[in-house]
Amino acid sequence: MNYQLNHLKELESESIFIMREVAAQFENPVLMFSGGKDSILMVYLAQKAFFPAKIPFPLLHIDTGHNFDETIEYRDNLVKKTGARLIVGSVQEAIDKGLVTEEKGYSASRNGLQTTALLTALEEGKYDAALGGARRDEEKARAKERFFSHRDEFGQWDPKNQRPELWNLFNGKKAMGEHFRVFPISNWTELDVWQYLAMEEVELPSLYFAHKRKVFERDGILLADSPHIQKKPTEVVKEMMVRCRTIGDVTCTGVWPSKADSVEKIIEEVATTRMTERGGRTDDKRSETSMEDRKKQGYF
C-alpha cells in the first residue's frame, strides 16, 4: 500500500483544513465570491470541508455593477445549488452614497472602488474573517502572503507585521475591531486549479471557454467591448474567438485569443502559455508595485 497523496489531493486536504480552522476559530466568517474560477474552487472546497452540512458561512459578492452577465447567472445558480446564503456589496451604492468617486475617462475602472465597498460590507456584517481565493503564484506581493493574514482595524495589511506560520498551527487571535483575511488556496497555481477542476468535473461559467466576442485592443491587451468602457476614436472593435483567464470587472479584465473550448484544452493552453494570468489585468499594470499598494489599503 502506497500512502502518498498526489499533489492535487494534498492541496485539497490543506485547503479543507484551513476552511475548517476558520469555522472553528472565528465567530462570523464570510467567503468572498468574485465569480472567478478561484472563488468557484473555494465554494467547492467549502462544500467538501463541511459535508454533509451546509457551508457554515455566507458568500459575499462585491458587485461593481460592471459585471459580465454570465457571472451573475452562474453565481445565482451556485447559490441555489449549495443552499449558501448570498450577500451582495454594491459599488454603485458606495458611489451613490458619496463614499467613493467614480473614475472618469478611457481607463476608468471600478476595480479600485471595490476596496471601499468591500470594507464597508465587512464592517456592516461584522465579519471577523473573510476567506479569499488569492494564490501566492499570482503576483509578487502575494508570494509572501500568509494563510491567516492579519488586518488592523482599518482593514490594512502591514507586510512587516504578519505572524509567522509554522506546521499546521494558525494563530487567529485578534483584538476587537481587527479581522483576518484567510487564503485557503495560497499554495495552488493556475495549473493546479485547472487540473483539479477538470479532475473533479466542476461546472464553470462559459466565459472561461473560447467563444466569439466583440473586442478591441488597448496597450497590448484585448478588452471586451462593453457600454461600461469608453473607447478612444482609434480603437477598432472586431469579433474574435477569445476566453477569459481571470474574471473580474469587465472594465479591467483582458480576454485572450483562444480556441480552448474544453477544460482539457485549457489545461494544455495554460501548461504551455508564456504569460502570467494577471498579465491581462490592466489594474496590475498601473505601476510596478500596484498590487502591494492596493493590498496595504485593504484590497484582497
Partner 1 sequence: MENSELLRFTTAGSVDDGKSTLIGRLLYDSKSIFQDQMEAIEATSLRRGESEVNLALLTDGLKSEREQGITIDVAYRYFATPRRKFIIADTPGHIQYTRNMVTGASTANVALILIDARHGVVEQTRRHSIIASLLQIPHLVICVNKMDLVDYSEEVYENIKEEFSSWASKLDIKDMHFVPISALHGDYVVEESENMSWYKGSTLMYYLENVHIGSDHNHIDCRFPVQYVIRPYSDEYHDYRGYAGRIAGGVFKKGDKVRLLPSGFTSKIKKIDTYDGEVETAYAPMSVTLLLENDLDLSRGDMIVRENNSPDVDQDVEVMLCWFDESKNLQARGKYTVLHTTQDVRCIVKEIRYKLDINTLHRNQEDLDIGINDIARVVLRTTKPLFTDPYRQNRITGSIILVDEGTNRTVAAGMVI
- The amino acid present at 270, given as its one-letter code, is V
Query: Which three three-digit cell numbers place residue 227?
Result: 457600454
Distances from the Cα of 76 to the Cαs of 15, 83, 205, 244, in angstroms? 24, 10, 12, 20
Least Cα distance to 114 among 128, 134, 93 occurs for 93
How far, in Å, CA of 74 to CA of 36, rounded? 10
Nearer to partner 1 by Cβ, of 176 and 234: the residue is 176
Three cell numbers at 208? 472561461
Residue 274 CB, nearest approach to partner 1 (Å):
4
> What phi and psi, each to the nearest 5 degrees, are found at residue 133?
-95, 30
SS3 285: helix
Closer to partner 1 by Cβ: residue 47 or 71: 47
Among positions 39, 195, 251, 253, the unique one binding partner 1 when judged by CB under 8 A:
195
Shorter beta-carbon distance to partner 1: residue 124 or 200: 200
Stretch that binds partner 1, among 30-38, 156-164, 204-212, 240-248 (CB under 8 A): 156-164
Tell me if 259 contacts partner 1 by CB under 8 A: no
Pairwise CA distance, residues 300 & 294, whole Å? 8
Identify the residue among 70, 152, 165, 217 touching partner 1 (CB under 8 A): 165
Please report whether residue 77 would count as binding partner 1 according to CB under 8 A.
no
Q: Is 237 in the site for partner 1 (CB under 8 A)?
A: no
Query: Of 92-100, 102-110, 255-263, 269-277, which part binds partner 1 (CB under 8 A)?
Result: 269-277
Q: What is the CA radius of gyration of the chain?
A: 19
Nearer to partner 1, 33 or 157 (CB): 157
Q: Which is nearer to partner 1, 81 or 232 (CB)?
A: 81
CA quadruple 184, 293, 166, 178: dihedral sign: negative
The answer to whether residue 167 forms part of the interface with partner 1 (CB under 8 A) is yes
Reading the block at residue 161, the C-alpha cell is: 507585521
For residue 88, state whether it binds partner 1 (rule: CB under 8 A): no
Answer yes or no whether residue 107 interacts with partner 1 by CB under 8 A.
no
DSSP per-residue letters across 178-210: -EEEE-TTTT--HHHHHHHHHHTT----GGGS-
Binding-site ranges for partner 1 (CB under 8 A):
1-14, 16-17, 20-21, 23-24, 47-54, 136-137, 140-141, 143-144, 159-160, 162-171, 173-175, 186-187, 189, 191-192, 195, 199, 271, 273-276, 279, 288-289, 292
